Structure 1
Amino acid sequence: MSDGTVRIDLNADLGEGYGAWTLGDDDALLDLVTSANVACGFHAGDPTSLRHVCERAAERGVVIGAQVGYHDLAGFGRRFIDMVPADLTNDVLYQVGALEAFARVAGTRVQYVKPHGALYNAIVHHEAQAAAVVEAVLRYDPTLPVLGLPGSVFLALAADAGLTTVPEAFADRAYTPEATLVSRREPGAVLHDADAVARRCVRMATEGSVEAVDGTIVEVRAASLCVHGDSPGAVEMAGRVKAALRDTGVEVAPFVGGPA
């Protein structure tokens, strides 16, 4: 920013319950985050929960984004699916359109797109699937920003296509020396110490770096920080992160629209 103020968005994955199964405290997180990555029914989320999250987000001025993923309810979207690119494009279009309906009923709209889980990780390097997601956003609304991992093929292709790209860092995930996320299959991939996570977030926001699992310092320059809504203690962690950022003089605000 021109006045020297550091500004960063705080997002969380919401709407991930399904039927009788509740996952995370969406209402509490909506009091803390500035952007909500709302599930679209393919990896998680049912129509009633998606409508609820959209309505609560609209009431609080939280920006709504479509969190699109593989059609994999049983695996929570965390299993790679080798799809025909055209099918993936159509799946993404379907998901964004479904969430847009609930956002419109709530008096707002979908304002960005963020891939979920295995799709998010696949398109760091998988050019065909990255291009398929880019194509879906271009077809639906080329003014929608997309969130992704800094340095990913996805963000590069999106930028080449004229989309607004938003580099993202993860508050509660461990990083490899290559600045990618440690696989959830590995021990220590998800961090649970709220104070340590808060310190990491301040460093990422103010210095653009994070300590990798091997102790090296890697560059992670991001415009948005993600706290996973399905992690144990997610609400406390998001609160600690937000407080630590503000105490350091960082402005916590969405990357689109005005402050929440």
Structure 2
Amino acid sequence: MFSLDDMIAFLPPLLQGAWLTIVVSVLSFVLALVVGLLLGIARMSRLAPLRLVTAFYIQVIRGTPLLLQLFFIYYVLPYQGIVLSPFVSAIIGLTANYAAYMAEIFRSGIQAIPKGQWEAAAATGMSKRLLMRRIILPQALRIIIPSLGNNFVSIFKDSALVSVITMRDLMFSGQLLASATFKHFEIYAMVAAIYLAISYPAAMLVEWIERKLEIGRRLGVEPDRPTASRRFLRMWRPVRT
């Protein structure tokens, strides 16, 4: 069972690993947003070769596990003379993986904008770049915020896979402590609690952004729809007869 002395001794290295987890996750998410947007726009390009290359990249990334991609970047590329640090490998792996998924999210959001808005802006002589920046993207972002929010929460959990490339994140720090002290239950329970402490505020942040931007009202959804927590509680209410 837990003891206060164990928690005090284990907490500093675990928190240090948690900080590295947060840095890698946030940085990878921001980069994946940029790369995903570019890929999503390229996916809709009129240039057939660009569409094919982008589609091939997205299908390859989505069709292979993130774990394999990290292995390839860190362990296979050195055989071709490309040696990367664990930190850089983790950033590249998470960015490349999440960018492929975000590309499809951006594409679906952009294509959800009514065609009439494209035609109306084109009739005013607005350039495609200006049209995308001022009219299409702001509306598309409101549509895809829930999906982007899910990815934002998920990347903190998926970042645990970078421990396989010897990066001292939260998961790897827990593995080292467990192998040295043999107190697996205590350490991994603390690791789970720290991951929850990271991901839950991230989920609350996403929910706050949705409320702030009034996503439900802008998309024509009932303004008084129950939140996820309320829907969960309703499942356990007794049925009236």
TM-score relative to the length of structure 2? 0.22
> Whose RCO is larger (CA < 8 A, sep 6+)?
2
Normalized per residue, which structure has more helix?
2
- TM-score scaled to structure 1, two decimals? 0.21
Please identify which structure carries the higher strand content.
Answer: 1
**Highest CA radius of gyration, 1 or 2?**
2
